[in-house]
Amino acid sequence: MSERTRAHVFVSGTVQGVYYRATTRERADEHGVGGWVRNLDDGRVEAVFEGPADAVESMVEWCRDGSPAATVADVDVTYEDPEGVETFDIRR
């Protein structure tokens, strides 16, 4: 069994209004990753991914491109201790 990890990600660029959150949830579900994603008032998207380390790393890498309509300028990642999150949600 793979070690669990948690990544807290901030994505900047043209990442709101381009289905970034919905596509992130679809990808997280495909990878079996828990967590959440939300838009921030400053135009960034914030996300948390939790699960097997390889799946979480795949999600972090995916964020560098994002949804097809997104233009990602930067991805800032901090790794944290897992909190046992199993499902993935879009937060408002």
Catalytic residue of the set 4, 6, 21, 44: 21
In a domain, 38, yes or no: yes
Q: How confident is the model at residue 2 (pLDDT cuts 50, 70, 90)?
A: low
Q: Residue 49 and residue 68: Cα distance in Å, rounded?
A: 20
In a domain, 90, yes or no: no
In a domain, 45, yes or no: yes
42 alpha carbon, distance to own chain's centre: 17
In a domain, 92, yes or no: no
Q: What are the tens digits of pLDDT across the range 11-49?
A: 999 999 999 999 999 999 999 999 999 999 999 999 999
CATH number reported for the structural domain that contains residue 31 in this entry: 3.30.70.100
In a domain, 78, yes or no: yes
Residue 73 belongs to domain spanning? 4-83
Is 21 catalytic? The answer is yes
Is 91 catalytic? The answer is no
Could you tell me the two tokens for 5? Answer: 């990890």
Catalytic residue of the set 4, 6, 27, 39: 39
| Alpha helices by DSSP H, 1-92 | 20-31, 53-63
Domain count for the chain: 1
pTM: predicted TM-score of the whole model, two decimal places: 0.95
